[in-house]
Structures are given as C-alpha cells and as structure tokens.
C-alpha cells in the first residue's frame, strides 16, 4: 500500500522543524502505515539497552527474523529480571561475569514452556556483535560473552556470526556523518566518550557494515526515502513514548521490502537527543540504497525508567509479576514491538494494539 504524498510531505516537514520535532510529531503524527512489507528477511538491531532488547526479540521469535545485530550489550537474559544484576553484572561486573550455563538453563526452561522460539529456528539466524574496547558503561567482557552465546546457538558460527571489537571506542553507536549534515559530528562527542548522545562520531559506518553482514549479496534497489513520525498509541505498552519513527524508501511504498527494527539505547530516544539517532544512524542510507524499511520505536523516560531504556531487566512488568517475562514472547514490550512489525507486514490499515 502506498503512502499519500501529502502525508509524506507533512511528516518530513515536521521532523525538519528542529529541536521541537518530537513535540510536533506527538500532536500531528498519523498511525503506523501498513506497507505490505515482506514477511521474511526481517532483522532486529539495537545498541545498549536496545541491544539487549534486540537479543530478546530474536530469541523469543527467531522464526520471524533472519538476522540480529547487537552493539554495546551483553548476553541474552543477563539481568534475569533483577535490576541489581542488570547494574552489577550486566553493565559493570562487580559481581563477576554472568554464567552462560545458567542463562542457557533459563532459555531452555522458557523453551519447554513455549515462551521462546525453537533451537532450530534460532540456529539459522545471522548475527552481528559489536563492542568498543574502551566502553566504560557496558564492560567489553560482556560483549565477549554475548559472542560466545551466539556461537553456541548458531549452526555454523564461522559463517553466521561476525564479532567486531573496535579499538579505542567507547559506549554507543559509531556513525559516519554525511558532509551536508546540519550538525557538527564532533558535537556528538568523539569515539571514546560519545558526548551525551552515545552517537559516536568515529567516521565509521557500522550500520552499513552490519547490514551488509546480515544481508549478504543483497541487490541494490536504490530510491529516495523519507523519515516519518507515527503515533505509537495503537501499540501502547509500559515504557513506550507517544511517537515513533519509520523510514520508508519510495521503492518500498508498494510493499515487498524487508523490515529492520532498530532500537535506540538509553538516553538516545528522540525526547533526549531529537532525531540524531533516527536520522544519522546510517541505517537509512543503507535502506534507501537496498530497499529496506527501518522501524524506530521510541521508549520514554519515567520514574521507573528515567533514562528511557528498553525493558531488559523487567521494569515494565515487575510491579505485578514476581518473575517478569520481559525476555519471553509474553513480555509486555516484546508483544508491542512484534505488533508493530506485524502491522508493517500487513497490507491493510487494521489497528494492532497490545494491552499494557
């Protein structure tokens, strides 16, 4: 299904208004378009808390994805529903490194209850893991464990897994800013500290490198594209912001393009850094060249989640559930994110809502 020209122009204009873009989008954004996107070859990628969430989606629904990309995060299931573990064993390692055997037992328990996808489906994914060796927010040792975890899951890890350890690089998502960008790349912070945005002006196109790995030998299908704001209320879940973003190349308006779900990290949502991540991650550039829809859901800050992280330790459910299922198919945010993917892959504008 195509998108009306006037709608595209309106959303593009709203996003270009500058620092108040998010506020305008909340007032004017339409619903997420139903694009008839491809039901196969979807991928999920993320950085920091978004990296943890990307692994959660891939493990919960491996049959729905062909690839997963994780930057600056540790192994799946690491927090085990406890904020104390998230802080002391899954970011810093004051309590020592998490046990991969223990985490595997957690996954196998979920598997026995049909709360995650099958081992066969998981083993077929392509995986890209990236970590900066100067990361002072999430220890690089945790990136090593994540890579080991995926090695144990994949059928042919030497062919399906790429692990990149970036020297002299801190916590965040490296970018190669276009020359005509309206912001100075160095204002984002250098490769080591990332400023306050965790967008690292390293001159490195990690998005292009990652997508080339997840989609090997992908043919070019270049066209112009637009970044659109949409109302997330149809997919309301605890921790979700009012407005999300989606990048749609013209070549994808008629349907048939795969989708990449791209998850920002803590303090990287539009409320905190405007459209810096959704516009300059590098994913849109690759997507416009190859015919890919990129979905940028947005988390919001709250008392329970002041840095607008994705739920990788159970905050969205812990108030009503002793053992939160945030890292399963039944997770509150997991269900909402998958509903967004379902909607993009549908050819009709039926609402897809999830209950809090």
Q: Say how many CA atoms lie within 13 Å of 92 toward its Cβ.
A: 6
Question: What are the tens digits of pLDDT across the range 228-264?
Answer: 999 999 998 999 999 999 999 999 999 999 999 999 9
Q: What is the pLDDT of residue 194?
A: 63
200-205 CB contacts, 8 Å cutoff, 24+ apart: 200/132, 200/169, 200/170, 200/172, 200/173, 200/174, 200/175, 201/175, 201/177, 202/166, 202/169, 202/174, 202/175, 202/176, 203/176, 204/166, 204/174, 204/175, 204/176, 205/174, 205/175, 205/176, 205/282, 205/285
* Strand spans (E) along the chain: 43-47, 67-71, 126-132, 161-166, 173-175, 199-201, 225-231, 243-249, 259-263, 293-296
Q: What is the pLDDT of residue 304?
A: 86
Q: What is the pLDDT of residue 186?
A: 56
- Could you give phi then psi for residue 304, rounded to 5 degrees? -80, -20
Q: What is the pLDDT of residue 27?
A: 57
d(C-alpha 300, C-alpha 307), whole Å: 8
Question: What are the tens digits of pLDDT across the range 156-185?
Answer: 999 999 999 999 999 999 998 777 777 765
pTM (2 d.p.): 0.89
Q: What is the pLDDT of residue 179?
A: 75
Q: What is the pLDDT of residue 324?
A: 86
In the predicted model, residues of the chain with pLDDT beneath 50 are: 1-26, 350-356
């Amino acid at each position: 299904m195509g998108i009306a020209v006037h709608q595209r122009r309106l959303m593009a204009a709203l996003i270009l208004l500058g620092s108040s873009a998010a506020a305008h989008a909340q007032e004017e954004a339409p619903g997420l378009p139903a694009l008839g996107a491809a039901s196969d070859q979807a991928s999920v990628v993320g950085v920091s808390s978004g990296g943890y969430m990307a692994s959660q989606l891939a493990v919960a629904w491996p049959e729905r994805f062909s690839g997963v990309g994780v930057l600056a995060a540790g192994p799946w299931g690491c927090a085990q529903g406890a904020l104390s573990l998230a802080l002391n064993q899954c970011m810093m390692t004051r309590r020592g490194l998490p046990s991969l055997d223990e985490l595997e037992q957690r996954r196998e328990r979920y598997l026995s209850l049909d709360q995650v996808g099958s081992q066969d489906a998981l083993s077929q994914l392509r995986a890209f893991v990236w970590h900066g060796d100067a990361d002072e927010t999430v220890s690089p040792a945790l990136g090593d464990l994540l890579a080991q975890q995926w090695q144990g899951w994949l059928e042919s890890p030497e062919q399906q897994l790429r692990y990149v350890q970036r020297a002299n690089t801190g916590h965040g998502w490296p970018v190669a800013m276009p020359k005509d960008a309206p912001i100075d790349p160095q204002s984002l912070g250098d490769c080591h500290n990332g400023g306050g945005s965790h967008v690292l002006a390293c001159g490195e196109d990690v998005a292009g490198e990652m997508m080339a790995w997840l989609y090997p030998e992908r043919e070019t299908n270049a066209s112009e594209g637009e970044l659109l704001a949409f109302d997330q209320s149809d997919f309301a879940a605890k921790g979700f912001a009012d407005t999300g973003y989606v990048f749609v190349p013209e070549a994808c308006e008629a349907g048939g393009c795969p989708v990449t779900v791209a998850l920002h990290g803590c303090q990287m949502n539009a409320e905190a850094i405007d459209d810096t991540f959704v516009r300059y991650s590098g994913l849109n550039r690759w997507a416009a060249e190859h015919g890919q829809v990129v979905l940028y859901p947005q988390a919001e800050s709250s008392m329970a989640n002041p840095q607008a992280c994705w739920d990788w330790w159970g905050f969205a459910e812990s108030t009503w559930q002793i053992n939160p299922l945030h890292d399963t198919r039944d997770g509150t945010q997991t269900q909402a994110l998958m509903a967004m993917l379902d909607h993009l892959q549908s050819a009709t504008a039926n609402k897809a809502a999830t209950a809090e």
